[in-house]
Structure 1
Amino acid sequence: MDIMIDRIEQLEKDTGQIKIDLACLTARSEAFATKTDLAELRTEMHQSLAGIHKEIGGMHKELANQTRWIMGTAVAIAATCMTIVKVFF
């Protein structure tokens, strides 16, 4: 009989600890992300990435335009130098 009482007392202690642990887990679970939160985050990320993609595309166009101007200027300078050399020599 004493063994049963000891076991019941131990179960009561364990039950109390389980209640405390459950309360802590319940409090922590309120901060967890839900499926809706993740879906909203995914949408925001896709929108941000789309904006970044557009900016990179614009930068690519500007870089291509700048490269054309540099190459055109280099060809014009080379042609001018050749003409000057041909005229004077």
Structure 2
Amino acid sequence: MRKGKQISLAAINGNLMGQHGGDGGGGDMESRVAKLESDVEHIKTTLVDIKADMKSAKSDVGTLKTDLSVIKSNYVTTTDLQKEIGAVKSDIQNLKTEMHKAINNQTKWVIGALFVVLGVGLGVARLIFN
């Protein structure tokens, strides 16, 4: 049940019978009916415009729902982010391992080259000083 002002049936009947306001006669009834008809036509036109606007708004809302679904589907979830972080950590660990191997190999080559240079130097020194 609608809340608001309640009007009694007697008051409605009184208004229809001309008992409330006016002189009760029908002298200006034609102009009042013409005004009402004009107002009804205006209401009909406005209602058609409102319906068209509502259809457009409904279409726009549908488009927004679709766009929002696409945006949501492109979000990164916590699980995806954790997987990516795990992959990055694994890549860093692999890089550390490779760097240690490369540094160890380089150190071996440098030490080996130093022994070769030392051996050649001692050999040359022996030839020169003996």
Q: TM-score range by the shorter chain?
A: 0.7 to 0.9
1:82 partner amino acid = G
**Corresponding position of 2:52:** 13
**TM-score calculated relative to the size of structure 1:** 0.80
Q: How far apart are residue 24 of structure 1 and its match?
A: 2.0
Aligned to 1:38: 77
Residue by residue, what CA displacement relative to the aligned partner does 1:55-77 show, whole Å, maximum 9, x if unpaired?
11101211210221121022112
1:75-86 equivalences in 2 (<5 Å): 75-86=114-125
TM-score where L is the length of structure 2: 0.58
Q: In structure 2, what residue type is equivalent to 1:70? A: W
Indicate how the Cα distance of structure 1 residues 17 and 73 shifts in structure 2: closer, same or farther if over 3 A, else same: same
Partner in structure 1 of residue 104 of structure 2? 65
Q: CA offset at residue 42 of structure 1? A: 0.8
Percent identity (aligned): 8
Of structures 1 and 2, the one with the larger relative CO (CA 8 A, separation 6+) is: 2
- Structure with the higher fraction of residues in helix conformation: 1
Alignment length (residue pairs): 88
Residue identity opposite 2:114 in structure 1: V
Match of 2:16 in 1: none
